[in-house]
Amino acid sequence: MRVVVTGATGNVGSSVVAALSKDALVESVVGVARRVPEVLVPKVEWRAADIRRDQLDVMFAGADAVIHLAWLIQPSKKPEVLASVNVAGSRRVFEAAAAAGVGTLVHASSVGVYSAATGPEPVDESWPNRGISSCSYSRDKASAEQILDEVASRHPNLRVVRLRPGLVLKRSAGAEVTRYFLGDWIPRWLVPSRLPVLPLPRGLVLQACTPTTLPLRTWPRSRTASPTVHTTWRRNRRSPPTSSASVSARASFRRRPP
């Protein structure tokens, strides 16, 4: 089995590449990133590419699966730059995967695709996935899924897997995640390596996971099986700050009827 991973050097991508290199079912891995690392990983071939402009279908040729993890979160003050990768770049990945005849396309979406809830009750995957208009991250995630729907409808033989996790954490990405939330507002030297006190507002429910808990093991299964991520979460009527967002998610595997 040959697998291509975009965003292969990122927070999630680096863990996925490492896991695939140890998987007996996987014969070769193509790690795609704008800057190719010098590290050598068994069975992994690194390719330098920018999903906004480089030819992707040739890179995807012969792959059994493409796992799309490339995503920009910064610079948050330049939403047009983010959208050039997150929306336009994702479209190029989806269309190139279909053109190359890839069997399975895995897209890392987010709970951020969901529209605002109308109350405190949990909702599931049937909830509208049009995002929160005031949040560029949410807008881009929702736009990418809409494009994925379009591509999937035009290519029924392409098996599509979409993940909608919350924040993905691991120790080596701690500094990077801190920058996401603090940005330029707080000088780095004011931030302790460990928080002496963790404020927990009343009613806070926060979902987070690690790369090893994402349900990526569903993608190699037979084409008669369809993975689904069941999500329950809550949001205020207005877009909440990150510290008050409430999400919880669990992944399961559901078989299609024969």
**Pairing of β 28-33 and β 2-6:** parallel
Instruction: Give the whole-angstrom CA distance, residue 108 versus residue 112.
Output: 11
In a domain, 97, yes or no: yes
Q: What percent of the chain has pLDDT over 70?
A: 72
Instruction: Give the whole-angstrom CA distance, residue 167 versus residue 209.
Output: 6
Whether the CB-CB separation of 4 and 37 falls below 8 Å is answered with: no
Cα maximum dimension of the chain: 59
Residue 97 CB-half CA count within 13 A: 33
Domain span at residue 95 reads 2-170+201-255
In a domain, 83, yes or no: yes
Q: Which of 10-14, 191-195, 198-202 has the lowest mean pLDDT?
A: 191-195
CA angle 127, 133, 139 (to 5 degrees): 75
pLDDT at 247: 27
pLDDT in tens, 54-109: 999 999 999 999 999 999 988 888 999 999 999 999 999 999 999 999 999 999 99
In a domain, 176, yes or no: no
In a domain, 190, yes or no: no
pLDDT in tens, 104-140: 999 999 988 999 888 777 778 889 999 999 999 999 9
Mean pLDDT of 33-37: 94
| CATH assignment at residue 66 | 3.40.50.720
In a domain, 182, yes or no: no
Q: How many domains does the chain have?
A: 1
Where residue 209 falls among pLDDT bands split at 50, 70, 90? confident
Mean pLDDT of 186-195: 70
Closest CA to 166 of 77, 219, 229: 229
pLDDT in tens, 236-256: 333 333 322 222 222 222 223
Mean pLDDT of 39-54: 96
Instruction: Give the whole-angstrom CA distance, residue 16 versus residue 211.
Output: 7
Instruction: Give the whole-angstrom CA distance, residue 88 versus residue 22.
Output: 32
In a domain, 248, yes or no: yes
In a domain, 189, yes or no: no
Mean pLDDT of 211-227: 49
Residue with the bigger pLDDT between 220 and 54: it is 54
Residue 238 CB-half CA count within 13 A: 3
* Chain mean pLDDT for the chain: 79
In a domain, 64, yes or no: yes
pLDDT at 118: 82
